[in-house]
Amino acid sequence: MNRAGFTTLAMDLRGHGESRQAEDGSDDGARVLDRDPKLFNAMYLDVAAAVDWLREHRHISGNRLALVGASVGCSVAMHAVASGAVIPAAVVLMTPGTNYLGVPTMQHIKSWPDRSLLILSSIEEQDRDAVQIHRALKNRGAELVVLKQDGIHGTRMFGRVEGIENRIALWLLNVMQAGK
């Protein structure tokens, strides 16, 4: 993505990686392991904070901003956009879910704004949720790409699906150049 000219920020959502400890000192990592829906439904605020940081420190404007979410990160990205907390030019979802870990993506779709959306799914998972999400948003320009490989849920696409990084970068470049 950087080679394509994008500024990137890979973030740890609350309870993940370096963001395990909550503000009150409790262990959000344990809440992730317990699959606490309240925790996952608050993660869109982490995305909003990260975007605010990008705007302030990297001077990234909304028409030059894209979100890429994988697995539950898809649900979190959809929530951030549908709530209006983040207004990107485009969103890429890598193996989205309709109600993954208690985040009600199909509910968020009802508030989905006019944004370019690319949905990526493995052939083994397409019928679970990706097709349903695409069906709900295809009239608003959502694109679905079904990859003919197994075992590539979310970020497992990177390094396993030949050219996926370039495919995402090219799609984003086209969206940004079109001014959608």
- Name the CATH topology of 17-178: Rossmann fold (3.40.50)
Q: Over the stretch 108-144, which tens digit does the pLDDT of each residue have?
A: 999 999 999 999 999 998 888 999 999 999 999 899 9
C-alpha 25/C-alpha 27 separation (Å) is: 7
CB-count exposure of residue 13 (10 Å: 0-12, 13-18, 19+) = buried
Question: What is the average pLDDT score of the chain?
Answer: 93
| pLDDT over 70 percentage in the chain | 99
Label each residue of 67-135 as H, E or C.
Answer: EEEECHHHHHHHHHHHCCCCCCCEEEEECCCCCHHHCCHHHHHCCCCCCEEEEEEECCCHHHHHHHHHH
C-alpha 31/C-alpha 43 separation (Å) is: 12
**pTM (predicted TM-score):** 0.93
Beta-bridged to residue 116, according to DSSP, are: 90
Predicted confidence band at 179 (pLDDT cuts at 50, 70, 90)? confident
Q: What is the pLDDT of residue 64?
A: 85
| pLDDT over 90 percentage in the chain | 75
pLDDT at 28 exceeding the cut of 80: yes
Count other C-beta atoms under 10 Å from residue 89's C-beta: 19
Q: Where are the domains of the chain?
A: 17-178
Q: Over the stretch 151-169, which tens digit does the pLDDT of each residue have?
A: 999 999 999 999 999 999 9
- Average pLDDT in the 77-106 region? 96
Closest residue by Cα to residue 81 from 122, 20, 140: 140
- Average pLDDT in the 2-7 region? 84
- Average pLDDT in the 37-56 region? 95
